Structure 1
Amino acid sequence: MQNTAETGPDAPIDVTPLLDDPYAAYAALREAGPVHRITGADGQPAWLVTRYDDVRGAFTDPRLSLDKRHAAPGGYSGFALPPALDANLLNMDPPDHTRVRRLVVKAFTPGRIDALREPVRRIADELLDAMEERGGQADLIADYAGQLPIIVICDLLGVPQRDRHDFRAWTDTLITPDPTKPQQMKQAIGAMLEFYTGLIATKRAEPGDDLLSDLIAVRDDAAGPADDRLTEDELTSLAFLILFGGYENVVHLIGNAALGLLEHPDRLDQLRRNPADLPAVVEEFMRYDGPAPLAIRRFAKEDLEIGGVRIPAGDSVLLAVASANRDPARFPDPDRFDHGRDLSGHLALGHGIHYCLGAPLARVETVTALDALIGRFPGLRLALPQAELRRRRSLRARGLISLPVTWKSRNEQVFEA
């Protein structure tokens, strides 16, 4: 694969291998050089950082900004979100990022997350009950992984059952837009804005014991200090980010981990015998086959170098987390799944001040979902050859479109025993 850090910005690499066989493609890029020129998902050039040390360092480099105002004119054309959805943590630097994160981090305290373990397990069991009642086959994405996170996040935010729209359709459109149907993106964004605006109005009129009501109270507290308040756009954007971010990545993490276990029955059997290993197994899946191959784009605030490659001010920089997590310089034998390895430095959830806010909840959901699934269906197996499974073709998301499975009924298991 061509090292375009040497050949210049007019020769971006072909990203097709990153879609077809990403880990092999990233390995070739790491070997060829630390930074490469690519065409990003928005159709604009970007710099792709591939090696662990460079990616980790870039996460905390103050010369790299999340604020789109630092992009070169015409150099970025990502999501065209309205201000009410765009004023979120993924587009902020300190001090605004510090202020807003401090307000929302209270929702993800260890105590609050621990209190969610039992409700998450109840939701998982109810979804599995419904699967079992429908017979011995299901789609683990549509029937389980795609439902559990949205129910959990909606409960956390206080979204009434009657108002839980088709979030998966909206997120699919944002993550993997159809270039031949640009109107779909506009419609999805409009529908989301209308939904969140209406939800906040409802919660403002009838507050409840939920996170969104708490955030509205902070926003509307006229007596509170100015640096502890949210703008209306920040409030709406936070609701959007918590729901969008807390849903999409967890769906793919559960799906990728379930597939990784089903592909290796010996690994699945070992986990059934040693369920205490499940948290470490989930952590390794984050490193080994995480849901977000790239961190959110950054912009060079000034001319700088990464890995000896000069990046001009205003250019977009993409941090290849999937590549960094398979860098043999940091993780020996990185293409081997090993939940006993030292996982303390993996970057699947980010690093520094932008470390994933919902990481504790994502861990609880994934561990609980897999534990419930493994315990319910001892004979669980893929319903079609692995080669026939369909994955998203996206640089932004690493996940399955569907995961058909089958299992023996309890009567069949008892009869065989």
Structure 2
Amino acid sequence: MSTDQDLPTDGLLTHPYAVYDRLRDSAPVHRITGPDGSPAWLVTRYGDVREALADPLLSLDKRHALPGGYKGFALPPALDANLLNMDPPDHTRIRRLVGRAFTTRRVEQLRVPIRQTADRLLDALGAHGGTDLIAAYAAPLPITVICDLLGVPDEHRRDFRAWTDVLVAPDPARPQAAKEAIVAMLGFFTQLLADKRKEPADDLLSDLIAVRDESDSAENGRLTEDELMSLTFLILFAGYENTVQLIGTAVLALLQHPDQLAALRADPTRLPAAVEEFMRYDGPALLAIRRFPLQDVTIGDVTVPAGETVLLSLAAADRDPRRFPDADRFDLGRDATGHLALGHGIHYCLGAPLARLETEIALAALLERLPDLKLDGDPDDLRWRPSLRARGLLTLQVTY
């Protein structure tokens, strides 16, 4: 079943899961007006979303969109040639080149440095008081980790955070801000690559530049210059933004469910499994990257014409009671494996091991260091990012 309907913006920003519940039951493949003002098909049931995520007939390449049908955010070619806009074989080639940097084994080597960063941030809070946990902890932790991994100098990290915030949640009152952020980021990455070429270091970006400079083309598994810059942008952007939001919503879920918080304090060894429930219950991405059918495809009982925009709701799928019984209940004892917060198929999140480890360590440090952590204020007054794609808190005021 499907009907034309605008996305209920207010409801999706404040109470997205209630909106998705209604859509999942009444019209699981639903014709809507998307966030960019263009028509799209919203898919909300777990089975349909999981199958679509791995369907090779659903392309990420914008060249397969109907002319004038997709009005998504435009990046310059030097930032747009990334994995989120690619299909095989280019996707396979680039993912293979960078994937070895994000294996579980290699990421595990970051455990001690991540914990040191977490402890340093918590030391700065003092023994007791109040703070915005997003600004003081959830944001600086992942930006420090990903910038250390890539080799981004300290003096540029604050600017990058500001540019990212503008792109994730553009201010309607400042329509030029996003364009200005893109211009600034392009200049930043151009200079960063030039500096790394002059003075290589023991970091991921220097390794990627070495791979790129072994050849002048993408033949034989190499990177083009645009692909190198776009990949750097994607790793920084996704490695920072998604983890910030996941840490924030995880802490909020624990503070709103004191019984679950107490159980986790009593047995911290449950943290790795708990991270899966945090992702399922309130993950950072409401929607997967848009897809474009290469031919007419059937999703559920609806035929979607070739070239139209398909939006796969990860958030709705992970609250589908057909897959997760009592899905709206936050339960750290649940088996949350199989959730789709990190995607599925060949486009499964490249940085998944790092996101899991950072969230686990961030929460472990909080549980150990701030035993009396409490939400400061009315939960109904929480402010969320004005984005229909990314789920995240603007602030999280706490006392400790």
> Normalised by the shorter chain, which TM-score bucket?
over 0.9
Conserved? CA contact 1:171–1:244, under 8 Å:
yes
Q: Distance in 2 between matches of 1:314 and 1:327?
A: 27
- Count the aligned residue pairs: 400
More divergent stretch after superposition (294-303 vs 250-259): 294-303
5 Å-filtered alignment, 1:56-95, equals 56-95=50-89
Give the counterpart of 1:124 among 80, 94, 118: 118
CA displacement at 1:218 relative to structure 2: 0.2
Q: Distance in 2 between matches of 1:130 and 1:108?
A: 30
Conserved? CA contact 1:15–1:38, under 8 Å:
no
Conserved? CA contact 2:276–2:337, under 8 Å:
no
Superposition CA RMSD, Å: 1.5
CA displacement at 1:392 relative to structure 2: 1.5
CA displacement at 1:225 relative to structure 2: 8.7
Q: Kindly tell me: are residues 199 and 223 of structure 1, through their superposed partners in 2, closer, same or farther at Cα, counting changes over 3 Å? A: closer
Alignment partner of 1:319 is 2:306:
no
Q: Distance in 1 between matches of 2:187 and 2:218?
A: 30
Alignment partner of 1:108 is 2:108:
no
5 Å-filtered alignment, 1:3-402, equals 5=2, 7=3, 9=4, 11-132=5-126, 136-222=129-215, 226-402=219-395
Conserved? CA contact 1:218–1:228, under 8 Å:
no
Q: Distance in 1 between matches of 2:389 and 2:36?
A: 11
Conserved? CA contact 1:272–1:374, under 8 Å:
yes
Q: Kindly tell me: are residues 193 and 257 of structure 1, through their superposed partners in 2, closer, same or farther at Cα, counting changes over 3 Å? A: same
Q: Distance in 2 between matches of 1:327 and 1:380?
A: 31
More divergent stretch after superposition (110-119 vs 211-220): 110-119
For residues 137-194 of structure 1, give each alpha carbon's deviation from its aligned partner in whole angstroms, at most 9, with x where no partner exists: 1110000001100000000001111232422221121111123322101100001100
Conserved? CA contact 1:12–1:36, under 8 Å:
no
More divergent stretch after superposition (362-371 vs 384-393): 384-393
For residues 351-372 of structure 1, give each alpha carbon's deviation from its aligned partner in whole angstroms, at most 9, with x where no partner exists: 0000000000000000000000
Conserved? CA contact 1:46–1:315, under 8 Å:
yes
Q: Distance in 1 between matches of 2:30 and 2:13?
A: 16
What one-letter code is carried by the residue in structure 2 that aligns with 1:306? I
Q: Distance in 1 between matches of 2:64 and 2:229?
A: 23
CA displacement at 1:252 relative to structure 2: 0.5
Q: Distance in 1 between matches of 2:269 and 2:131?
A: 27
Q: Distance in 2 between matches of 1:224 and 1:167?
A: 29
Q: Distance in 1 between matches of 2:178 and 2:386?
A: 17
Q: What SS class does the counterpart of residue 405 from structure 1 fall into?
A: strand
Conserved? CA contact 2:13–2:384, under 8 Å:
no
Q: Distance in 1 between matches of 2:6 and 2:300?
A: 18
Q: Which residue of 2 aligns with 1:410?
A: none
Conserved? CA contact 2:7–2:32, under 8 Å:
yes
For residues 72-92 of structure 1, give each alpha carbon's deviation from its aligned partner in whole angstroms, at most 9, with x where no partner exists: 111112121000100000000
Q: Kindly tell me: are residues 79 and 348 of structure 1, through their superposed partners in 2, closer, same or farther at Cα, counting changes over 3 Å? A: same
Conserved? CA contact 2:260–2:332, under 8 Å:
no
What one-letter code is carried by the residue in structure 1 that aligns with 2:219? A
Conserved? CA contact 2:130–2:398, under 8 Å:
yes
Conserved? CA contact 2:208–2:228, under 8 Å:
yes
Q: What SS class does the counterpart of residue 110 from structure 2 fall into?
A: helix
Q: Distance in 2 between matches of 1:399 and 1:162?
A: 26
Conserved? CA contact 1:85–1:237, under 8 Å:
yes
Q: Distance in 2 between matches of 1:28 and 1:256?
A: 23
Q: Kindly tell me: are residues 400 and 223 of structure 1, through their superposed partners in 2, closer, same or farther at Cα, counting changes over 3 Å? A: closer
Q: Distance in 1 between matches of 2:94 and 2:393?
A: 33
Q: What SS class does the counterpart of residue 286 from structure 1 fall into?
A: helix
Bigger-Rg structure (1/2): 1
What one-letter code is carried by the residue in structure 2 that aligns with 1:332? P
What one-letter code is carried by the residue in structure 2 that aligns with 1:99? R
Q: Kindly tell me: are residues 371 and 70 of structure 1, through their superposed partners in 2, closer, same or farther at Cα, counting changes over 3 Å? A: same
Q: What SS class does the counterpart of residue 262 from structure 1 fall into?
A: helix
TM-score (norm 1): 0.93
Q: What SS class does the counterpart of residue 363 from structure 2 fall into?
A: helix
Conserved? CA contact 1:349–1:356, under 8 Å:
yes
Q: Distance in 2 between matches of 1:81 and 1:267?
A: 42
